[in-house]
Structure 1
Amino acid sequence: MKTLLKAGTTLAVTGCALVTSFAIGFAVTPAIADDGPEAINALDHAPIGVMGDHRHAAGEWMVSYRLMHMDMGGTQIGTNSVTPQQVVTTVPNRFFGAPGQPPTLRIVPTSMRMDMHMAGVMYGISDQITLMVMANYWTNEMDHTTFQGGMGIAELGTFRTTPGGFGDTKIVALIGLTDTVHINAGLSIPTGSNSKTDDILTPMGGNPTVRLPYPMQLGSGTFDLEPGITYRDQSAAFGWGAQVKGTVRLGSNDEGYAYGDRAIATAWMAASITPGVALSGRIQAETLGRVDGIDPLIAGPVQTANPDFQGGESVTGLIGLNFAATGGALRGWRLGIEGGIPIVQDLNGPQMPTDYTLTMGVQKSF
């Protein structure tokens, strides 16, 4: 309940404004939706958490904005939860032997909150090919507990790191194979920073400014291929689809490492409540590799600084609502909301597991 309240605080202002606007739009929308060739239906798009799910007709544009919130907390090794005290007394410090480095980890992340703002533009080059460009802006917060000295479980204090800024830019071509199947041919351009710094609390009581560990950097520093394939279809009352996408790193970045390759498979089913409202359920499986290489400026007695303590596998269940204004002043505007809770997480630990995700977005075609 505490984590849900955090998300509510993060999204309340934006959510209230959007929902109020759509309520007004639906109030002036005819009771019966348009039934002409340009009829709008909430089933026409996948859940808002699925990117690149649909193509556009030649000459058609779509603009979109999404806010994705993720909350993480605790510590997990594999599928097992462990306490901070267990971490600092049993997990070796990769950097032990270097000046000031204790034999075990002495700093433990306890919670993390991430908000990603995503702005996208889609354009139908032809009826078979749609081009999509997406930029994003991140705000992150990670809380830590520092334990005293080189041994024991006495706590010294806590601190928070808060990097923020633009992330990597995505360019994707959606290439139709049939009316219901298309290829996602994507390229990620390294526009996000991977040299963010912040102040920390060391086990000896110092407060240096250091380069932040891998999970807190905003960009990969590498050009990445993002191939995929998407299937989506619908009837009058139901919509369904599936998508498989990957991220393949093209070499290492200037700091000497590359994030792990990623693969995501998802499938969804949606049911029409009215032409303007659809309820969806979705399942998503993901695998993410460890960091390959190491940044020599990222070093310390904390799990997030170890390239081997990155990545893992997860399965997440999600539910959502899609709204589409089928007439009136807001005709053509769409609002999507989707929340997810992990079913299982097997992490290359110790890592913080995800508690939940919440995505909300608006879309408009013209």
Structure 2
Amino acid sequence: MSLLLLLALLPQDAVAQTDTPLTVIDATPFGLERRKPHSLSPAGALGEGMIMARGELAWKLDFNEQTYMGLRDGTQQVGASTILSTWATTVEDARMNRWDLEARYGLNDRITLAASLPLEHREVTWSDGTNSGTSTNEGLGDVHLGSEMRVLETESSRLTAGLGFFAPTGEHNHSGPWAGQADVLLPYGLQLGGGAWQGTAQASWILDGGIWTLGLGALGTLPLNKNDQGWARERSLMVDAWIARGFWTNWVMSLRAQALGFSDVRGEAEGLDPFQNPMEDNGRVGGDRIDLFAGLAVDLTPGHGVGSNRLEIAAGFPVYEDLDGPGLGADFTLRFGWRLGF
């Protein structure tokens, strides 16, 4: 609430002005009107809301780090001793980070194509009550290809929708040290890919209210088949809502709430033992979570167009979590982003 109050109390002369003519990347009716830095969706928002003009190209580099701490079953914390009374080993914490390089290209003034290349690092700390260790996996994740289309547009709002898919480029059967064993198949959460095709559908709505900008977004992911190990990634649905305000001509503050629901893994991987560790149980992966984020962005070259050279950061934490656990509870999320348009 303190950040929201700060947004509201910003002086009028600190609000980004709209009089200066700018060449914006998005040369559409809504794009020509939105000469304020807060008219773009903040870091991590669902649905880019940034439709390129025909022939325009933009790059986006994102870093996302998610930490997990302690075990949760439903909405309750669970101690390691409770887990070890049922399973041979337990997990204590985890850290997962990902670099995403995305390219966006304006096929025409209505449809934008996008491709995203992820590099991931995942690590989990395990314990058997006496000994503990850390297992890691890193490399290329599943590449995403998709498109975003302007569905409805006015001078103050835009509705976009998109379809895409994840290609099975990430490793899904990686083996390594885990829970005291020298070389075994790593659990689902440590695999970088799903080994199968996944379809995605998204939609976003942005309302430019002058001083404030509001946004809503949704993203669904659905596995289309099982991999050669006999399992498929969880289905998921994310929705979010955000509010942003610009100040000092080229700075933006934002608040965002995101709700996430994800299913258990479909099918079982041969080589994983659900009685060894909760992370190896395909029925203990799903859950629901709500996160709150605060963000800050700056356009480094405002005279060249809103979003043409932008740095952004966002940090968030869960305010509600209900897991089909026991499973690792989310702790903190940090995002950095850089957009560069031509």
TM-score (norm 1): 0.81
> Is 1:210 matched up with 2:205?
no
What's the CA shift string for 1:74-110, capped at 9, x where partnerless?
0000000010001111xxxxxxxxxxxxxx3021110
Matched with 2:102 is: 120
- Which 5+ residue runs of structure 1 have no aligned equivalent? 1-30, 90-103, 147-154
State the distance in 2 between where 1:239 and 1:330 align: 18
State the distance in 2 between where 1:35 and 1:329 align: 11
State the distance in 1 between where 2:99 and 2:330 align: 19
Compared CA separation, residues 144 and 291, structure 1 to 2 (3 A): same
State the distance in 1 between where 2:206 and 2:127 align: 46
Tell me which moved more, 291-300 or 350-359: 291-300
Please tell me whether the aligned partners of residues 290 and 311 of structure 1 are also in contact (alpha carbons under 8 angstroms).
Answer: yes
Task: Kindly report which structure 2 residues correspond to 1:56-75, keeping only aligned pairs within 5 A, or say none.
Answer: 56-75=52-71
> Is 1:77 matched up with 2:83?
no
Please tell me whether the aligned partners of residues 92 and 127 of structure 2 are also in contact (alpha carbons under 8 angstroms).
Answer: yes
RMSD value, Cα: 1.9
Matched with 1:324 is: 299
State the distance in 1 between where 2:285 and 2:246 align: 40
What's the CA shift string for 1:200-221, capped at 9, x where partnerless?
344xxxx421010000000011
Please tell me whether the aligned partners of residues 46 and 239 of structure 2 are also in contact (alpha carbons under 8 angstroms).
Answer: no
Matched with 2:23 is: 38
> Is 1:255 matched up with 2:229?
yes
Compared CA separation, residues 329 and 176, structure 1 to 2 (3 A): closer
Please tell me whether the aligned partners of residues 228 and 244 of structure 1 are also in contact (alpha carbons under 8 angstroms).
Answer: yes
Matched with 1:358 is: 334
> Is 1:245 matched up with 2:219?
yes
State the distance in 1 between where 2:199 and 2:53 align: 25
Q: How many Å apart are 1:198 and its aligned residue?
A: 1.3
State the distance in 2 between where 1:227 and 1:286 align: 15
Please tell me whether the aligned partners of residues 33 and 326 of structure 1 are also in contact (alpha carbons under 8 angstroms).
Answer: no
State the distance in 2 between where 1:108 and 1:329 align: 53
Aligned AA (1:190): P
> Is 1:199 matched up with 2:174?
no
State the distance in 2 between where 1:119 and 1:52 align: 16
Matched with 2:125 is: 143
Compared CA separation, residues 120 and 226, structure 1 to 2 (3 A): same
State the distance in 2 between where 1:52 and 1:133 align: 14
Compared CA separation, residues 275 and 326, structure 1 to 2 (3 A): farther
Please tell me whether the aligned partners of residues 41 and 324 of structure 1 are also in contact (alpha carbons under 8 angstroms).
Answer: no
Please tell me whether the aligned partners of residues 275 and 326 of structure 1 are also in contact (alpha carbons under 8 angstroms).
Answer: no
For this pair of structures, how many residues does the alignment match?
A: 310
State the distance in 2 between where 1:41 and 1:133 align: 27
Secondary structure of 1:162's counterpart equals: strand
State the distance in 2 between where 1:34 and 1:107 align: 62
Q: How many Å apart are 1:330 and its aligned residue?
A: 11
What's the CA shift string for 1:299-341, capped at 9, x where partnerless?
2510100001101001111110111124479993101101111
Aligned AA (2:107): I
Secondary structure of 1:278's counterpart equals: strand
Matched with 1:26 is: none
Please tell me whether the aligned partners of residues 234 and 263 of structure 2 are also in contact (alpha carbons under 8 angstroms).
Answer: yes
**Equivalent of residue 152 in structure 2, options 164, 167, 178:** 178
Q: How many Å apart are 1:163 and its aligned residue?
A: 0.4
Aligned AA (2:74): G
> Is 1:48 matched up with 2:34?
no
Task: Kindly report which structure 2 residues correspond to 1:167-316, keeping only aligned pairs within 5 A, or say none.
Answer: 167-179=141-153, 180-202=158-180, 207-299=181-273, 301-316=276-291
Q: How many Å apart are 1:181 and its aligned residue?
A: 0.6
Secondary structure of 1:337's counterpart equals: strand
State the distance in 2 between where 1:32 and 1:232 align: 19
What's the CA shift string for 1:243-285, capped at 9, x where partnerless?
1110011021111011221000001000112221010001111
Aligned AA (1:263): L
